[in-house]
Amino acid sequence: MLTPHGHDPRRIRTLRALALGKGQDVAPVLTEDEIEARRLEVPFRIEEICKEYFNFDLQWFHLEVLDHMFRGGRKVVNLPTDHGKSTVSCFLFPILSLMMDPNETHIICGVNINDSKRRVQAIQRELETNAPLIRDYPWIAKPKEKNARSWSATQLNVVGKVVNKPNPSVLAAAIGSGDLRGRRGKLIMDDVEGEDARWSPMKRQQLYDFVKLEAIRCYEDVRESPRPLLIALGTPFDVDSIYFKLESEEWETVRYPVYLSEEKITHATGSEQTKYTYLWPAKEAKVDYMRRTLTRQQFAVGFMMDPTGGDSSVMSFKQLADMAVNADVKADQYRTFISLDPSSGSTNRRADYTGISVCKISWASGDELPKLEVLEAHRFTQGLFEQVHFCAHLASEYHCPVVYEANSQQGGTYANAFMHLHPEVQLIRHYTTANTKFDEKMGLTVVKTLVRRSRLKVREAILETEGVQSLLTEVRDLGSSGAHDHIAASIWFVVRYAYEQVRYWNGPKLVNAYANGGYTSNYFGGRPMAANQGGGFGSYRFVSEADRLIQEEREREVRRMAGQRGGS
């Protein structure tokens, strides 16, 4: 039953008993309404409280962050390095929140448990040593009895907390450690995304899975707390940082770059100078030093909240998806291919996989790059025979040949499997070399170039399929160490095959003599191409780059042998 003011009498009696002192040096005795008013006024006196009890001069953006945290909800906050983010979120906020309501639970989650323990222990020391704070807010003191009120390296409970509440007042946790199972409380994720996430797509995915599958369970409902909170604070190190992903999923986001404004000043001598307005003026010297000593990209990431570093070639997943959907690749003539980048089959979610794509390609005479539409993309995790059967099904459906990588013994294995299981399928061998894969003009990264130049299209109807999502992820991470690229590589096989046919053909106009028929065009938008690895058009046969290299090697061998004979 509540008082006329809506207060819980049992809680007020507890808080009043604490306020009466029980040995504490307290101000005059507070009435029930005064105790309740003191609690409720905390969010409105944050600046004054922090100055009086913690000797901390809050900046305007610190107050904004704390206001966001007190209002609750799902939040993302990005602040520059060394601008008080951890102090505000992992030290001040839990204490202020307990001053307002000692029954609230706060979970401090860091990238490892040791970081989180340090945060919890800092709060413990403050509550044990800050006599003025405990005098005026005695319900956040350390309990004298230890019955169900743990005060350890990983958690603490304040004296004003209801004993039978299952979660502690403050708890230390870490990503991926299982500490959050069954917990409910205000989850504060501080710097859970490190710089390694910039270079490791797998680490980004693991962190995202943790937030979506485990962290989200900590979010309280209104029955458990009137101001539930789930907040991620840190610096976005990548264009597909967890902070941007959460923002796209309707988490309220605020970012504070280190400069509020920049102004160019021209002196009488003609020289120019940039005048900056700093987010935190006291940090001016350090920020200036960091700007001079860090690279442009490093400074953009750590202080300007810009993970691209001003490089327009760095694109987020969403940007890639938008470009692919909106690309205009209309053309009069196309050729269609099934393409396969082989790998061993596996059902492990994180294991390697085979990339299979269905592409239409058109390459008009005079164009630097082709136009390409992805009709299907598949992240295939089954074994060799299943891959062959699936490609044969697609080849039958689209009436087109299958391009596959023929390097090493694995290529022979696939060729034999097709020959025995589906001899009707036309195969086009693709040979990958280091020179072709890393060719600056037409290497594997040309797939990303096609997306950037709106020459690779994905229909919106298939955008959310697993294969297309994997393809866009691969395109974004092309060039990153350890990143998968199988579906992107299967598309590249088609582009590279077309490029080689156009590049090495200098003969007269060809007449279609495609062996098995059913193919109405032998052109890439006006340019002739090869039908398959063994067939040709009329009396001519296209020369692939692999064939050319082999032929050149043979010619060198012949010349060498001839030279030896002449010398003998």
CATH 3.40.50.300 residue spans of the chain? 41-255
pLDDT beyond 70 at 345: no
Residue type at 61 in one-letter notation: F
Q: How far apart are CA 78 and CA 65, in angstroms?
A: 10
Distance separating alpha carbons of residues 183 and 176, to the nearest angstrom:
14
What own/partner pairs with CB < 8 Å and gap ≥ 24 does 347-354 have?
Answer: 347/381, 347/382, 348/381, 350/202, 351/381, 352/484, 352/486, 353/379, 353/380, 353/381, 353/470, 353/484, 353/486, 354/380, 354/381, 354/387, 354/486
What topology is assigned to 329-548 in CATH? Nucleotidyltransferase; domain 5 (3.30.420)
H helices of 77-112, in order, are 85-86, 93-100
Residue 447's pLDDT is 92
Comparing CA positions, the residue from 543, 468, 451 lying closest to residue 505 is: 543
pLDDT band at 50 (very low <50, low <70, confident <90, very high): very high
d(CA 311, CA 295): 13
CB 69 within 8 A of CB 135: no
pLDDT tens across 478-488, in order? 866 667 889 99
3-class state of residue 374 by DSSP: strand
Domain 41-255 architecture: 3-Layer(aba) Sandwich (3.40)
Mean pLDDT rounded to a whole number for the chain:
81
- Tokens standing for residue 532: 């398959």
Beta bridge partners of 361: 335, 372
Q: 239, 198 in Cβ contact below 8 A? A: no
How far apart (Å, rounded) are the C-alpha atoms in residues 307 and 245?
A: 14
pLDDT band at 233 (very low <50, low <70, confident <90, very high): very high
Q: Tell me the CA distances in angstroms from 180 to 109, 139, 217, one per residue in order.
A: 9, 26, 8
Backbone angles phi, psi at 388, to 5 degrees: -65, -45
pLDDT at residue 98 greater than cutoff 90 = yes
Closest CA to 475 of 463, 462, 491: 491
Q: Is the per-residue pLDDT at 175 higher than 70?
A: yes
The per-residue pLDDT for range 320-336, each reduced to its tens digit, is 788 888 888 888 888 99
Q: Please list the residue range(s) of the chain that carry CATH number 3.30.420.240.
A: 329-548
CA-atom Rg of the chain in angstroms: 33
> Mean of the pLDDT values across residues 361-382?
90
Q: What is the mean pLDDT of residues 186-204?
A: 80
